[in-house]
Structure 1
Amino acid sequence: MNETPEPGRRDRELSRRTVLMAGGATAVAVGLGGALAVDASADDDTAADICYTLTSETVEGPYYIDADKIRQDVTEDQDGIPLTLTLKVIDAETCKPLKDAAVDIWHCNAVGVYSGYEASGSGGGGGGGPAPTGTPTGTPTGTPTGTPTGAPPSGGPGGGGGGHQEPTDDSRYLRGTWRTDKRGYVTFRTVFPGWYQGRCVHIHVKVHVDGAWTDAGYEGGRTCHTGQLFFAEKAVLLTEDVEPYSANTTTRTTLDEDTIYPGNGHAGGLLYLTYDRRHIARGVRARLTLGVAPDETHDGS
C-alpha cells in the first residue's frame, strides 16, 4: 500500500535534496562552527558558462624546465602546508574533457625559491642576492655617447615575465607532469607556494596535447595552454604565521598588485580553495577547470 505523504513532508525532502546537491561542504562548514573556508561555487563542473570560457594565457616565466618528471607527488623534501591540486582540462568550445593530455606544474617553495634556480634565492630574476654595501666612491666623468640598441631587459624584479633562464643546479622539487584521465582530471600533491620579490603567490601550469606517452615520459605534441594559478588573499594571509612561510622576509606582492594576474577571477586562474581557516596548516584543497583551445599553440613565449 502506498502511503500518502504527510503535509509538508515532500517539501522538506525536496529542500533537503536541494541542500545536498548544493554541496555537502556547506553542512560540514556549519558543523565546524564556520571554521571551514569553502567557496560555495567550487563545483565548477556544473557551471554552464565555464565550458565556453577560455582560461587566460599568461607568460611562461623564466623558470620552466622540461624535465619529464612524470609524477603526481612533486613535494620531495620541501616543508610547507600540504596542498592537493585538482585540475580538469576541457575543450572550451565543445565542453568535452581532454584525456591523455600532459599537464605540467611548477612553483617556488615556502620561502620563494625555485628548484633548478637556487642560486637566484628568493627574489625572482636574480633579485635575491644581498644588497650592495658601502658608499660608492668617485664621480662619473665624461658624456655618454652612442645610441642604445637591442630590446630592454625583460622579466623585471619579480621574474614574472621575460625569457627563459638556464638552470643553475640539478634540484627539481615542486615540479612534475601527469596525464589527464578520461574525464579530463589530473591531481597533484604539493605544498602551498610561498612568495618572492614582485609576484603574488602562484603556480605555473602548461597543458600539452597530441603527444605520445612512452616509457620515457611524454614526447612530441604541442603546448595548447600556458597559464598561472592564483590564490585568494584571505588564504595567503593565514599562511604568513605558519612555518616555514613565517621565515620568508621578502615583501609580499598582493593579488591586486600583481602585474601578471589578469584580474578576471576563475577564468584568469583564481583557484577554488577549501581549508580550515583556524588550522590552515593541516592542508588545503584547490581545484579549477581549465578551458583550453586544443587546436592552438600557446607556449607562453
Structure 2
Amino acid sequence: PTTKGFDFWHCNSAGVYSGIVANGNGDCSDTTNINTTFLRGLINTNDEGVAQFTTIFPSHYTSRATHIHVLATMNATILPNNTLSGGSISHVGQLFSDQSLISEVELNEPYASNTQELTTNVDDTIMSGEAASMDPVFEYVLLGDEVSEGVLAWISIGIDASASYDVSPAASWTENGGVSDSNSGGIGGGMGGGAGHSAAFPSGAAPSGASPSLFGTLMP
C-alpha cells in the first residue's frame, strides 16, 4: 500500500532525542542512545487529511525553544515492518506551543529537573522563520484542572503535494541497530519547507526532484 503520512519526533523531558549521539544531546558518552527510538512516530492521514497521535509534552534544550518536528511524505510504500520506502517529502517543519503552556509544564517534574538553558519562543530564530509564513503554534485545551492531567493540541498545516525536498538524516536504523550520519549537521533540524514557506531548509536539506527513501531513517 501507499501512503500520505507524517513523521513526528521530539526530545524528551530532559531535552534529549532518541537515536542520536552528539554533543548537546544529553550524555554524549552514552553510545547506547544510538539504538533508541523513543518519541518518534509515523502516522498516516485519513481520507480527510487528518493524523493524530499520543505523546508526552516535549521539553527544551540549549538554544532551542520547545518544539515538535514534522515531515510529510507523499506516495511512499509501507513495508512489512511498518517503515516507509520511496515517495517524496513534501513538507519539513517544526511546530510550537504557547509560551504560557510551556511555562506551566516546566514547573512540573520531570521537566523542572531539566538543567539545560531555557530558550523562549520569542528568542527562537527557527520559530521566527516558521512564523513568517504560517502560524506554527498549536491550539490546545487542558484535559483537566491541571496541566499534569494532559493536553489536547491541534494544528492545521497547508502542504504543497507537488513539492519535493531532500533531507539528510542524523542516523539510519539497520538490522544491526542505529548508525550515525556524520554529515547530518547537528542534533536538531532547521526551518521547514512546504506550502507557504520561504524559509531556509534544514541542515543538509534542499529542494530536489529526486524521491528520497525514508526507510529506517532517524531525523534529528
Same fold (TM over 0.5): yes
Equivalent residue in structure 2 for 1:226, among 61, 68, 92: 92
Deviation at 1:240, TM superposition (A): 1.5
Deviation at 1:129, TM superposition (A): 6.7
Q: Which residue pairs with 2:136 in the alignment?
A: 269
Q: Which of the pair has the greater relative contact order for Cα pairs under 8 Å at 6+ separation? A: 1
Gaps of 5+ in 1: 1-98, 131-166
Q: Which residue pairs with 1:191 in the alignment?
A: 56
Q: Deviations over 1:97-121 (max 9, x none)?
A: xx9311100100001011112x447
Tell me the C-alpha RMSD between the 2 structures: 2.7
Q: 2 CA distance for matches of 1:277 and 1:247? A: 23
Please state if 1:253 is matched with 2:119.
yes
Q: Sequence identity, in percent?
A: 31
Gaps of 5+ in 2: 167-201, 206-220
Seen in structure 2, the aligned counterparts of structure 1 residues 239 and 266 have a Cα distance that, compared at 3 Å, is farther
> Map of 1:99-114 to 2, 5 A cutoff?
100-114=3-17
Q: Which residue pairs with 2:71 in the alignment?
A: 206
The number of aligned residues is 164
Q: Deviations over 1:72-93 (max 9, x none)?
A: xxxxxxxxxxxxxxxxxxxxxx
Check conservation: 1:256, 1:263, Cα contact below 8 A: no
Seen in structure 2, the aligned counterparts of structure 1 residues 265 and 275 have a Cα distance that, compared at 3 Å, is farther
Check conservation: 2:143, 2:152, Cα contact below 8 A: no
Code of the residue aligned with 2:6 in structure 1: it is V
Q: 1 CA distance for matches of 2:3 and 2:41? A: 15
Q: Which residue pairs with 2:107 in the alignment?
A: 241
Q: Which residue pairs with 2:41 in the alignment?
A: 176
Please state if 1:295 is matched with 2:152.
no
Report the 3-state secondary structure (helix = DSSP H, G, I; strand = E; otherwise coil) of the residue aligned with 2:102: helix
Deviation at 1:221, TM superposition (A): 0.4
Check conservation: 1:225, 1:292, Cα contact below 8 A: yes
Is 263-272 or 205-214 further displaced after alignment?
Answer: 263-272
Q: 2 CA distance for matches of 1:116 and 1:213? A: 21
In terms of Rg, which structure is larger? 1
Check conservation: 1:238, 1:277, Cα contact below 8 A: no
